[in-house]
Structure 1
Amino acid sequence: MATKETTPLLGSKTKSSKDDLWDSSMGWFGAGSQKNNVNYWRKQKSMNFVILAAAALIGVLLAVIVNETLWYSAVGFETMETGFTTLLKVLVFATTVVAYIYLYLYYDALIQIKRCEGVELSYGFGIMSLWESRNLLQFLLDALILLPQPFPFVHFSIEIQDIFRDEAPIVYTSDNISMALMFIRIVFLPRLIAEIFLMSREMAVVVARLNNVEIDTWFVIRSLFVANFGTLMVLISVMTVSTSYIMLLCERPYPHADQLSEFGPCLYQTIITMTTVGYGDLVPHTRLGRGVAVINGCAGVVFISLIIQGVVQRVALNAPEAKVMQFIEMNENGREVRNKAAVVVQTVYRQYKLNVEAAGAGRANVRVKVHPKIRNVLTEFRYVNREKKRLSSFKEQHLIHFEQIE
């Protein structure tokens, strides 16, 4: 039994037996028999994050419905709360509570994985155990990401003076600001894909441990970006739609924002900005809108580089295909070398006959080495001969590699 009392929040290392050192919230759900099974905790970790991300993203969709309902039921620019919007806000708050619960369970499972791997951590789940497992900062960041949301029974306005025009301040509601900030939850989407990937690939973790490689979320995301081009395109599409809606939230309250007051033009403007085309036919008028446009431009540069890398990976030849292309090139080059050599022989022989005839007639001969036509055909022959040597060298360097593949 433990000999030292601890606080649930800070935690503390205690002198206790092996069974007493294990303390997890999952034990409340009948997981006590699996407390030393690392594969069980990995599955629990992935499952908890799937539920966490699903709740967070469902909350975003509900918040969009709240915001659109308030906007289209408004009188002028004055939005009015209704029973339906209040109910939706309560549902958004409920999804956030569920997300926080599974955020706690997710990091609790992470700590249990560390304990099963032999890492000595403080007792229970707390600040000390999170810090010792190097998860405290990420836990606080995730908790902060889940915080913004349209709270029920909370509705106020914020006035922002536009520095580009001497007009009345632009009025944003608390729902506008919280809705825009809620889209930060999109960062859970690539992690969600990574956790789903890990749930069905237990052997990948074992092989990685044997090769001293840690398969974490960032490793899986980078691997999916390279190996699965569709995943990359889905994430870019979701990011594009999200930033387009944020642009709409920033521009729609501006009284004269006729062009960017609907989602379609905002999506068009975002795509044009991300692709660095910049026609200039649609431009944001508000300070916040221009800030979002700058972020879109920077994100577009990153997305284009990722897309180019993915396209290059798709069109690049693999080793067997490269071997076939090398064989074709060598055959073509061999034929060209023979043709150029024949042209050299023919040209030299013709000039030789002309020199013989000139000598018989008492005229001066033209030296073969300095004859322009002969020099040209010799230059062409040397070029194709160098190409033949290069291809032969390439074949020797990759011969073992190709044989291993075969």
Structure 2
Amino acid sequence: ESGSVQNGDAVRPLSSLGTLSSSFADFPSDQQQLQLLHSAILEDAFSKVIGDDSSKASSENLITTEGSKPQKKTKDISYRLGQRRALFGKRKQLSDYALVCGMFGIIAMVIETELSRTFYTKESIYSYVLKGLISISTAILLGLILMYHAREIQLFMVDNGADDWRIAMTFERILFIVLELLICAIHPIPGQYVFTWTAHLAFNYTASVDADVDIILSVPMFLRLYLIGRVMLLHSKLFTDASSRSIGALNKINFDTRFVMKTLMTICPGTVLLVFSVSCWIIAAWTVRVCESRYHDAQEVTSTFLGAMWLISITFLSIGYGDMVPHTYCGKGVCLLTGIMGAGCTALVVAVVARKSELTRAEKHVHNFMMDTQLYKKIKNTAANVLRETWLIYKNTKLVKKIDHARVRQHQRKFLQAIHQLRRLKMEQRKLTDQANTVADIAKTQNMLYDLVLDLQHRTGELDRRIMALEEKLDSILVRVQSLPVVLSQAIAKLQ
């Protein structure tokens, strides 16, 4: 049997994968990272080779004779890598299309909500057209999400050599897909639907109002913005680069959206916080205005967009002047979430400012050097003051005819002050030395000591070899000296 991938069709089991299924099917789950690492490295190595022949490799039947096993294995790896690269590209395109459809639905919802508030009613043909467009974009979005997860399942099958797609359908994956479909399926339905909301007050009457269902279905559409994080992940250089994924697999790092956001917070924290805060501010202000404007007088300050922005800003910053308050449960809930996000963003801003205000390693070295120089000068001056006061005390007590006790006490007081100042400066110098010995400096010193020890060992070994060679030469000289009397006696005997 043979299979091929054409226009994103489902992956069918190949006969060439039959030899690999026995070796991949029994792998434990903790070896999946090694398989992904292996695939990533091979993808980078064979990308130029299979760039033009990936479609041809998908349609060829692999020969199963014993004499062509190396060629068969090479073709199988090339086919899998080409298939994997194609699935990566299709998954990225599907994510982009899903984001476009999601943003189109949100923009159409905002336009319909604003127009139906002022220019026409919910029963107008214009409202039906706009809501119909929202429903069509939602249906397309749901289809794109299903296709995206289908590509993810195909990637799982290619990476792990699986033959059945049901192996990849774990409970966690199914729950995630269902939750994502439910979030993206929420949208306002064409038509006008209301229900009576009754509030039991502490008075003799019961307040009731006709609440619009469109608000309940429109506000959750902003949850579709999670697609931005997925697009950022799939377009990130850290995720698309095979070498980065290989290094990440070796260090047991999962390249997910959280890792990409941490990287962005490290590279440009101010920009990320600014974009996030402004986006939350605008969305929350519009939501509060929509919730408040339909059930209160138009003169209410929260019914205008600028008033809602002021309410959200003072709530986000945890100020709360009390000059305006939300009246509906929808507005109160949005203000509650805004306060929680504002507290978190404030903590992040403090952390970012504290990290940015820290000195770099080179600046710390320069600062410590300057402080050490200043302390050294102060210690020298203080020590000179101690010696000067000691001499003055001796002079006013031993070298004068009449002792001036007031002047002696003054010099003794200055002498003690100089001693205490000298002790304080030495303590500050000791603290500065301790602060300068950071972990990086200790590691650098340890590396230097290690290099010195290696050099010393090398020199010691060279010295041992020279000593052994010298001992051998001395032994040969000793042997010759011991044989010298015999040689001399033989020479004398020959002369006689």
Q: 1 or 2 for the larger relative contact order (CA 8 Å, sep ≥6)?
A: 1
How much does 1:400 deviate?
A: 5.9
**Residue 8 (structure 1) aligns with:** none
Indicate the percent of aligned positions where both proteins have the same amino acid: 21
Tell me which amino acid in the other structure corresponds to 1:217.
Answer: T
Alignment of 1:238-257 (within 5 A): 238-256=279-297
TM-score, normalised to structure 1, is 0.80
Larger Rg: 2
**Residue 91 (structure 1) aligns with:** 133
- Are the structure 2 counterparts of residues 351 and 89 from structure 1 closer, same or farther at C-alpha, using a change threshold of 3 Å? farther
How much does 1:69 deviate?
A: 0.6
Alignment of 1:320-359 (within 5 A): 320-356=362-398
Q: Is the 8 A contact 1:146 1:182 kept in 2?
A: yes
**Residue 316 (structure 1) aligns with:** 358
How much does 1:401 deviate?
A: 5.6
**Inter-partner Cα distance in structure 1 for 2:174 and 2:401:** 96
How much does 1:55 deviate?
A: 1.6
Q: Is the 8 A contact 2:385 2:415 kept in 1?
A: no
Tell me which amino acid in the other structure corresponds to 2:219.
Answer: A
TM-score, normalised to structure 2, is 0.67
User: Which residues of structure 2 form unaligned runs of 5+?
Assistant: 3-9, 22-54, 59-78, 448-496
How much does 1:66 deviate?
A: 0.6
Q: Which moved more, 1:333-342 or 1:175-184?
A: 333-342
**Residue 276 (structure 2) aligns with:** 235
How much does 1:366 deviate?
A: 6.3
How much does 1:274 deviate?
A: 1.1
Q: Secondary structure at the match of 2:302?
A: coil
- Are the structure 2 counterparts of residues 271 and 364 from structure 1 closer, same or farther at C-alpha, using a change threshold of 3 Å? closer
- Aligned counterpart in structure 1 of residue 100 of structure 2, from 47, 54, 65: 54
Determine if the alignment matches structure 1 residue 184 to structure 2 residue 220.
no
**Inter-partner Cα distance in structure 2 for 1:178 and 1:282:** 26
**Inter-partner Cα distance in structure 2 for 1:400 and 1:285:** 61
Q: Is the 8 A contact 1:171 1:253 kept in 2?
A: no
- Are the structure 2 counterparts of residues 242 and 31 from structure 1 closer, same or farther at C-alpha, using a change threshold of 3 Å? farther
Q: Secondary structure at the match of 1:171?
A: strand
How much does 1:225 deviate?
A: 2.3
**Inter-partner Cα distance in structure 1 for 2:86 and 2:354:** 39
- Aligned counterpart in structure 2 of residue 169 of structure 1, from 208, 217, 222: 208
Determine if the alignment matches structure 1 residue 197 to structure 2 residue 243.
no
1:118-174 per-position Cα deviation (integer Å, ceiling 9, x unaligned): 264x723x6x63317x4222222211110111123x320133234567563233322
Q: Is the 8 A contact 1:158 1:174 kept in 2?
A: yes
Q: Is the 8 A contact 2:201 2:207 kept in 1?
A: no
**Residue 266 (structure 2) aligns with:** 226
Q: Which moved more, 1:186-195 or 1:158-167?
A: 158-167
**Inter-partner Cα distance in structure 2 for 1:155 and 1:366:** 100
Q: Which moved more, 1:165-174 or 1:84-93?
A: 165-174
How much does 1:215 deviate?
A: 0.9
- Are the structure 2 counterparts of residues 360 and 109 from structure 1 closer, same or farther at C-alpha, using a change threshold of 3 Å? farther
Alignment of 1:296-307 (within 5 A): 296-307=338-349
Q: Is the 8 A contact 2:285 2:312 kept in 1?
A: yes
**Inter-partner Cα distance in structure 1 for 2:56 and 2:114:** 43
Q: Secondary structure at the match of 2:326?
A: coil
- Aligned counterpart in structure 1 of residue 308 of structure 2, from 251, 266, 276: 266
**Residue 192 (structure 2) aligns with:** 155
1 or 2, which has the higher helix percentage?
A: 2
Determine if the alignment matches structure 1 residue 45 to structure 2 residue 86.
no
- Are the structure 2 counterparts of residues 45 and 92 from structure 1 closer, same or farther at C-alpha, using a change threshold of 3 Å? same
Q: Secondary structure at the match of 1:172?
A: strand
**Inter-partner Cα distance in structure 2 for 1:389 and 1:213:** 41
User: Which residues of structure 1 form unaligned runs of 5+?
Assistant: 3-10, 22-29
How much does 1:211 deviate?
A: 1.8
**Residue 146 (structure 1) aligns with:** 184
Q: Secondary structure at the match of 2:210?
A: strand
- In angstroms, what is the RMSD of aligned CA positions? 3.4
How much does 1:200 deviate?
A: 5.0
How much does 1:59 deviate?
A: 1.0
**Residue 383 (structure 1) aligns with:** 424
Tell me which amino acid in the other structure corresponds to 2:117.
Answer: W
Give the aligned length. 376
- Are the structure 2 counterparts of residues 362 and 286 from structure 1 closer, same or farther at C-alpha, using a change threshold of 3 Å? closer
Q: Is the 8 A contact 2:375 2:429 kept in 1?
A: yes
- Are the structure 2 counterparts of residues 318 and 18 from structure 1 closer, same or farther at C-alpha, using a change threshold of 3 Å? farther
- Are the structure 2 counterparts of residues 337 and 304 from structure 1 closer, same or farther at C-alpha, using a change threshold of 3 Å? same
How much does 1:240 deviate?
A: 1.9
Tell me which amino acid in the other structure corresponds to 1:60.
Answer: I
1:69-93 per-position Cα deviation (integer Å, ceiling 9, x unaligned): 101125xxxx333222222212212
**Residue 254 (structure 2) aligns with:** 214
Q: Is the 8 A contact 2:106 2:222 kept in 1?
A: yes
How much does 1:259 deviate?
A: 0.8
